[in-house]
Amino acid sequence: MTRILTDHDLQMPALMPLAIEAVEDVLRQRARGAFVSPPRHAVSIDGAGDLVFTIGGGAGGQSPVAGFRAYTTFSVQQDDQLVAVWNVETGTLKAVVIGSLLGAIRTGAIGGAAIRYLSREDAQVVAVIGSGLQARTQLEAAVAVRPVREVRVFSRSAENRDRFAMEMQQRLGRPVQAVETARAAVEGADIVLCATVSPEPVIRAEWLKPGAHINTVGPKTAEAHELPVEVAAMARRIATDSPAQLQAYGRPFFLAGTPQLSRMEDLADIVAGALPAGATGQGRGLDDVTLFCSTGLAGTEVVVASALSDHLDQSR
């Protein structure tokens, strides 16, 4: 029987470590060329909008699965996403996930893999810019992989940042403080999580502490980017989860035409050990700034959904 999962089933914080492991498994498969993740496929329905597919899978991972995420641009109010997972060995439709939470969990999990392999191992202070669902799962992922003791959140709406602080403090069991400026969040932070929809930079490079690691989840095109290019220029290492998808974006990447573009590393190679990991100290000076540009590697939704479905099966 196909397992049907909705946002309701995916609320538990305990799922994030499993999602991060699943993403790392995908990245290792991809590093050895064993994971298929073509550019997204979109079909335009005249007069309505687009139906968009990100498809991916691999026969050689811990869990041999393939499938897709489908979403639409029919309405700005509503975007019911669908993720489907087939077991490639049996042909069984293993799980169907409906809702928007899985997408945020897997983007969080990609961010968590980046933090594990790029940030300082002793990172304790986290700044969060943004207070939406993506900001929540990025923070949850940081907490899953680093000894986080203190969290500071800024977003433009005081109401939103206060609610974020209250809810996440309860969820994570550690202090989360809303602050009145982005600068107050970022200064002194070991990890900076940018998860906004801002077309203009929300932080400044000079606020960053030596040794800081930054994840950027929001806009990062030439015309709209939540990080200033100076942050990339300052970063000793810059990585992304899908160099291919960055190039396949309809609009140019915000680092196109800068010397930073050629320095970009593939997170898959880092996770697979082909490039030195930051976490071990081999590849990172303690004062190096590191930057991760999240693109949302196609197929990660599928493998994360598979792992969470397996876990929920076992825990019943």
Binding site for its own copies (CB under 8 A): 2, 4, 34, 36, 38, 41, 43-49, 51, 53, 55, 57-60, 64, 66-68, 70, 72, 74-82, 84, 86-93, 96, 98
Instruction: Provide, rounded to whole angstroms, the least separation between the CB of residue 89 and its own copies.
Output: 7
Instruction: Provide, rounded to whole angstroms, the least separation between the CB of residue 314 and its own copies.
Output: 22
Q: Which is nearer to its own copies, 78 or 314 (CB)?
A: 78
Q: Which is nearer to its own copies, 75 or 280 (CB)?
A: 75
- Give φ, ψ of 73 to 5 degrees: -120, 30
Q: Which is nearer to its own copies, 83 or 165 (CB)?
A: 83
Instruction: Provide, rounded to whole angstroms, the least separation between the CB of residue 99 and its own copies.
Output: 9
Instruction: Provide, rounded to whole angstroms, the least separation between the CB of residue 25 and its own copies.
Output: 16
Instruction: Provide, rounded to whole angstroms, the least separation between the CB of residue 81 and its own copies.
Output: 8
Instruction: Provide, rounded to whole angstroms, the least separation between the CB of residue 98 and its own copies.
Output: 5
Q: Which is nearer to its own copies, 41 or 156 (CB)?
A: 41
CA distances from 157 to 67, 110, 202, 293, 313 (A): 38, 27, 14, 25, 39
Q: Which is nearer to its own copies, 58 or 111 (CB)?
A: 58
Q: Which is nearer to its own copies, 65 or 271 (CB)?
A: 65
Q: Which is nearer to its own copies, 4 or 286 (CB)?
A: 4
Instruction: Provide, rounded to whole angstroms, the least separation between the CB of residue 26 and its own copies.
Output: 13
